[in-house]
Amino acid sequence: MKKHLGPVQAASAAVDFPSLIGLVEHFVNRKIVVLGDFVADEYQAGEISRVSREAPVLILRHRETQLFPGGGANAVNNLADLGARVLPVSVVGDDAAGQALIEYFHSKRVNVSGIVRARGWTTPVKTRFLAGWAHTVRQQVLRVDREPNGLPPESARKKLQLKLGKFLRSADALAVCDYGFGVASPALIRAVLASRKGKLVSTLDARCNLTAYAGTGITSATPNEPELENLHHTAIGQNWKELERCGRTTLSEMKLSALLVTRGRDGMALFEAGMPTAQIAIYGSDQAVDVTGAGDTVLAAYTLALASGASFPEAAHIASIAGGLVVMKRGTATVRRGELLDAMRREVTGS
């Protein structure tokens, strides 16, 4: 079902889909550098066989294990599927999960020379256990996270800065994904953006350190509403005035050109200095199948659109459509450029 959002739905009716299609068609070969924490999203799937005699827990008969790029690696994966020439810069451990991520991107012909392997460091892994009866949809019953004990080694971070500076010389945009594992930092962003000649489109998705990036030169950030609430110690919900206050304060404090706040089934809110706040409706159904990694898809589409010459409202609408498509897929997923174009063309033809 589709939720009726009143004035928010009306805002989406004015979208110039032919113009958006033209922008997406220019996604191909845009060079996007992604600096961020790589995470391995592992899925252990099985069928429920019985309840254990040892404890009141389910016994799963294991059927398959799958591993997908998560965190900043998911943003890289989305950019690659949207047609960009993506250059990932990150640190992974000298372990099976780190090797699996490198092999995954190598198989997709993504340049992996910017991925540093650090001995003794642990690649973050999120393991989700999916269970179901035969012929039923599997549901997540447990998640186990394995995380590094500290920051990547200093030697790895020095290599990271060198690779980042090299890649940015010819980049169309930079996307930063800070999941709190120490790959991205405000000091690093400030240093590399200050040393680059000319302004570079740069976007930020920071889970818990957003305002630390104030004044670093970041163009735009894409927090979700709970992250904005945590930042300002408040609850927003349907209180538009509170959303406006938090958004405007963050935009000003961080010296951003734009702030895009994702709000789940309530769509998005785009803040620009000197412009009225734009409300952007969700695309498609408000009954999401799985929101895992949706923020990475939004960041990827938004960044690539800006690098292709889109205005902030145009980029936000493209990101909204991409996000609406990806939440209808199970697990950590991506949106391909062809899917995005097909969705926009259906809006034009009404089919």
The answer to whether residue 296 is catalytic is yes
**Do 343 and 283 form a contact (C-beta atoms < 8 A)?**
yes
Is 78 within 8 Å of 305 (Cβ atoms)?
no
Q: Among residues 178, 205, 266, 296, which one is catalytic?
A: 296
Sort strands 268-272 and 258-262 into parallel, antiparallel or unpaired.
Answer: antiparallel
Dist CA 85 CA 318 (whole Å): 19
CA atoms within 13 A of residue 73's CA, in its CB half-sphere: 30
Cα 313–chain centre separation: 18
The set of residues, in sequence order, having a beta carbon less than 8 Å from that of 214 and lying 6+ positions away, is: 253, 254, 255
Cβ neighbors of 216 (< 8 A, separation 6 or more) are: 186, 189, 190, 193
Q: Three-state SS for 209?
A: coil
User: What are the φ and ψ backbone dihedral angles of 74, each rounded to 5 degrees?
Assistant: -70, -35
Residues with catalytic roles = 296
